Amino acid sequence: MKFGVITLGDNRPDPLTGRLRTAAEHHRGILELAERSEALGFDSFHVGEHHGCDYITSTPSVVLGAVAARTERITLSTATALLPVHDAVRFAEDYATVDVLSNGRAEVIVSRGILPRTYTDLGFEYARSRELFKEKIELVLRLWREEDVNWEGEFRDPVRGYTVQPRPVQQPNPPLWVGGGFSEESVLLAAELGLPLMLPSVIFPPTHFVPLVDQYRAGFQDRGFGGPLVGALSHTHCAKDLDTVRERYAPRHVEYMNWVGQELLPWALPPGVEVPVVPPVDFEASVTTGPGVAGSPQQVLDRLSEFKEVVGLDRQLFHVDTGALPQDAVFESLELLATEVLPKLDPR
């Protein structure tokens, strides 16, 4: 089992202090977080992609390129990249460049995303997102694996004798995961293409997706990229005791989740679509039956052990910098995870 650290790039005022970081401060903090993640032995570091909102990491490839220059071992990945709103050729070039800069440490997790407005803002049609997604995954993989590619599809001009430069270090290609689970289609696409599956467990816990995971494993078609792999992510905070968690993490987690459910999702829906009523988040419910994992090292270990056993996870990712949590608290949580939780979850 492998473990990774995620930043989604949310840049909101701290609900306890009111302070809002500048974009420069936040991005510098992300680089520091990546360095600390590698020093503590985590396997991968992931940067999210969003556009036009308070998630401010819009270009993960650039951020990961900067991380590549400051690290030596850790895998550099996305969380996730919104492939349908990119040109597949440029996308293949961008992440091949990250692979070269990192000497073969790049991967990508790609998804359709859950914010329809992103498609409109960037000039794409959300109603065709499934077709866009499949076509672009297949083209990216060909561009990484082959030279002098000839290709024709529905959503861009034909490719004639094109060779992506630079060529990626990893052969046959950098790992590509499909992020999916809110719809059966993305899960079945991952199985059809023989690609790893990353569950979107930011709203529901990984255990919620067991029926779809079973479908994925049953339908997996070996295409030479490796066997079926399943990953999940969790909003996570580990502290010496639950009282510390309630004091410094709970209000920030609640503000963040309420912002996503009550502001961000309504903002992102197309005009005329009924806005769903999302009730305010209850912290205790979130970390016992919901998508959160928080508490003492033993409490965190117990919850993660359940996810591992029930879902059969190959990778667990941790979203650790939720809601303007101060960097020292983030680093303390990471160290407890690395030293007191993960060695017991998966001894190496």
pLDDT of residue 226: 87
Paired residues of 7 in beta bridges: 47
pLDDT of residue 331: 98
pLDDT of residue 16: 96
Q: The CATH number of the domain where 336 resides is what?
A: 3.20.20.30
The model carries a pTM of 0.96
Q: Which residues of 120-129 are buried (b: 16+ CB within 10 A; e: fewer)?
A: beeebebeeb
Enclosing domain of residue 303 = 2-345
All residue ranges of the chain with pLDDT < 50 are none
Whole-Å CA distances, 334 to 39, 247, 302: 11, 18, 17
Q: By CB neighbour count within 10 A (0-12 exposed, 13-18 middle, 19+ buried), where does 130 fall? A: middle
Alpha carbons 283 and 275: distance in angstroms, whole number:
23
Element spanning 294, H or E: strand 292-295
103-112 pLDDT, tens digit per residue, is 999 999 999 9
pLDDT of residue 326: 96
Paired residues of 293 in beta bridges: 236
Structure tokens at 42: 């985590």
Whole-Å CA distances, 258 to 15, 229, 273, 278, 283: 12, 31, 20, 8, 11
Query: Total domain count for the chain?
Result: 1
231-263 pLDDT, tens digit per residue, is 999 999 999 999 999 999 999 999 999 999 999
pLDDT of residue 276: 80
Report which of 105, 121, 139 is spatially closest to residue 50, judged by C-alpha positions.
121
